Structure 1
Amino acid sequence: MAVPVHEQKVQAVVAPAVPFILRPQPAVDCAKEKCVALTFDDGPGRYTERLLDQLKKENARATFYLLGQNAPLYPQTLRRMVSEGHQLGNHTFDHKSLTALSKAQVSEEVNASAQKIKDIAGFAPDTMRPPYGARNPEVDSLINVPMVLWDVDTLDWKHHDPKQTVKIALDEVSDGSIILMHDIHESSVKAVPQLISKLKHKGYKLVTVNELFSDQDFVGSKTYARRA
């Protein structure tokens, strides 16, 4: 299961200004190479800049499923994500379970978050992840972008142990996997350097969700947990 609603509120940390320029990235053909997508939920938060430093050092890309209520607290962090080749995803405005809401409330949760992110990044996310992975046919019908779940749940929100996070990921990963983590937890961010190193040693390319599905059917109102 994904992490419950935030354990605590955090103060915004203003990141250094970075140019809002997309960096050219080497193309990865996931039909020919082993690929895995690292995904981070519930941010941005106080540890996200540290995570971006680690990803930049390793030349690895990730996908961030952002909460709309958090996005305005870290505008430079969002812009840095884009400028360094990462993907922004929608994780609703404030992490409510969509299956417990009315149709109007589902639309508001998704659209309000998309607008907050668009106000900062200049575009709305083109994938979304329902909180807790909670979805049903009614929710699906309201979402016009691909819904991205996961096949590797590190349970990082539960045990807060970097070594355990790495172990679970490595035990469960396979070609085409989507790994679930949370950048609001310092312990999760601490796990990333070792995880990336070991994934690379196993021959995996670290790609965004869109890159993972670049040559496959990837359409709105459908749910994807890994590359087929």
Structure 2
Amino acid sequence: MLIHGFLVASLALGGAPAATTQAKIDCTKVKCLALTFDDGPGTSTAKLLKILKKDRAKATFFLTGKYVDQRPRLARRTLAEGHAIGNHTYSHFSLTPRLDDEILDDIQAGQQAIKRATGLTATMFRPPFGHTDERVLRVADQLDLAEVKWTGTTLDWSLKDKKKIAAKVLSLAKRDGVILMHDTVPQTVQAMPGVIRELKKQGYHLVTVPQLYGGKLKPGVSYP
């Protein structure tokens, strides 16, 4: 796999692969929260990854295939640093108005882009804009993908204000929550150090979506 070189580099520096750092967290016993970021990899993604690494927090990134093709190294880095990756389609158009074949083609193209860049076969996807229906779920099932939406959205793309975004994240935080943000919004990335510190003070373990569900995401099922 393409990611192998990153894991070797991590071990050579004396550290375990980042993906193992939270392996023992049991979200049925502790207070967990999943921070998720859509639409990347973008120009602010590298900065966000640096923040997450420094603060020892894990997140889930729903990657858009056309941007994975543009920034494959960032996609590889995201996975290598222990974050979860999901498919956000290739083109980022609304799926529900499309024909079945168009839905299949765009999700499948997103899968292929992630596979090319990272070697990973994604097991979850997030429909752009949250637009989904029974047809979309059937296609997801066909591609062995679980659908992941959210318990709360920051609307950070609209706020575009560091303090307002931070306040919104904290207001949405709840046990077993899944919060939607965008690593393509610079103000969101700027807000993250303070947000992470405050969430940890409140007792949250910041985990990936698969960790939140104990690794039991089922194809064709919509979460949460």
Q: TM-score, normalised by structure 2?
A: 0.89
SS at structure 2 position matched to 1:65: strand
* 1:89 has 2:75 as partner: no
Any unmatched runs of 5+ in structure 2? 8-16
Deviation at 1:19, TM superposition (A): 4.2
Structure 1 segment 1-228 matched on structure 2, within 5 A: 19-21=5-7, 22-23=17-18, 24-26=20-22, 27-144=24-141, 145-214=145-214, 218-225=217-224
Q: 8 Å contact 2:59–2:84 — kept in the other structure?
A: yes
Deviation at 1:172, TM superposition (A): 2.0
Q: What is the aligned partner in structure 1 of residue 14 from structure 2?
A: none
Structure 2 Cα separation of the partners of residues 43 and 163 of structure 1: 22
SS at structure 1 position matched to 2:35: strand
Identity percentage of aligned residues: 38
Any unmatched runs of 5+ in structure 1? 1-16
Structure 1 Cα separation of the partners of residues 118 and 4 of structure 2: 13
| Distance 1:158-1:150 versus aligned 2 partners, 3 A rule | same
Q: How many residues align?
A: 208
Deviation at 1:100, TM superposition (A): 0.9
Structure 2 Cα separation of the partners of residues 218 and 123 of structure 1: 16
Deviation at 1:73, TM superposition (A): 1.5
Residue-by-residue CA offset, 1:13-57 (whole Å, 9 max, x unaligned): xxxx99421433132110101000010000000110000000000
More helix by share: 2
| Distance 1:47-1:18 versus aligned 2 partners, 3 A rule | farther
| Distance 1:18-1:220 versus aligned 2 partners, 3 A rule | closer
Residue-by-residue CA offset, 1:177-203 (whole Å, 9 max, x unaligned): 001000011111111111111100100
RMSD: 1.5
**1:153 partner letter:** T
Structure 1 Cα separation of the partners of residues 53 and 135 of structure 2: 39
Q: What is the aligned partner in structure 2 of residue 13 from structure 1?
A: none
Structure 1 Cα separation of the partners of residues 138 and 194 of structure 2: 39
Structure 1 runs of 4+ aligned residues shifted over 3 Å read: none
**1:218 partner letter:** L
Q: 8 Å contact 1:55–1:61 — kept in the other structure?
A: yes
Structure 2 Cα separation of the partners of residues 91 and 176 of structure 1: 22
Deviation at 1:108, TM superposition (A): 0.5
**2:21 partner letter:** Q
